[in-house]
Amino acid sequence: MRRENGPGRRIFRCLLVVLGLAAATLFFVPASPVQADSPKVLVAAAANLRPVLGELAAAFSRRGLPCRIEPVFGASGILCTEILEGASFDLFLSADRSYPQRLAEKGLGRPNQVFIYAYGQLALWVGKWTGVSMGRPEEVLLDRRIGRIALANPSHAPYGCAALVALDQAGLTEKIRDKLVYAEDVTGAMSLALSRAVEAALVPLSVAREARREGWYTVWSAAGIPRVEQGGIILSGSVCARAFRDFLLSSEGQAILERHGYLRVKETKRGA
């Protein structure tokens, strides 16, 4: 059974093993096929959503609403800081709940606008070229053929923090500390693995699945490993932003997220 540590305790445990690391770079990718003059929804999106947000935007556009989804991808903590410093977005889709809640507490959006749209899962990905066979993550990471392990910067990336919590609970933190290589976000961690700069990566299941031809992956599902509660918040009065949020929580939106490795949340009707 999952041990209930609470978000505060998990963050504290993560911070115990995190030193200040470099800031992440943001990436802009237009994702929706609707007309350019349609009202746009500027979405600050966690990097782990890169493999799925285009499909979500396309499905949303087929509902006939004149809305154009434009995502900016990056580490959740960096996006949160950008918003606090004045960056203008209609919707923030984080890789955890704490960053949207922080914005709500600062008066950006309303507290009752924070919502959970998916539960993510941490995965271990290992390159096929290493010759390491699939097994329990706790055993694989100790293999001498695994010289370097990439993960997202845990100081601002929730999946990096989740990876450190998993390593800590498995008693691996000290044993493999020298193997750890920090990337700016989960996309960067996976890029290091695909370029063979590292042999393994601790990334969201959604990201690991995209690289299944080059390596094998397994969900880190040991007892005590928390699922990653991914939250969002509406930051403007955009009708399209509210409609896209409702789509994410709909059965169609949840089915798309599930196909990409996320766990469903209970569908909830949301007011304006």
Amino acid at 35: Q
Residue pair 76/96 in contact (Cβ under 8 Å)? The answer is: yes
- Taking the C-alpha atoms of residue 165 and residue 13, their distance in angstroms, rounded to an integer, is 7
Residue pair 121/205 in contact (Cβ under 8 Å)? The answer is: yes
Q: Enumerate the β-bridge partners of residue 41.
A: 69
- Rounded (10°) angle between helices 7-16 and 158-169: 80
- Taking the C-alpha atoms of residue 122 and residue 246, their distance in angstroms, rounded to an integer, is 26
- Taking the C-alpha atoms of residue 233 and residue 79, their distance in angstroms, rounded to an integer, is 13
Task: Detail the residues annotated as belonging to a binding site.
Answer: 76, 186
Closest C-alpha to 94, from 228, 184, 209, 225: 228
Task: Detail the residues annotated as belonging to a binding site for molybdate.
Answer: 76, 186
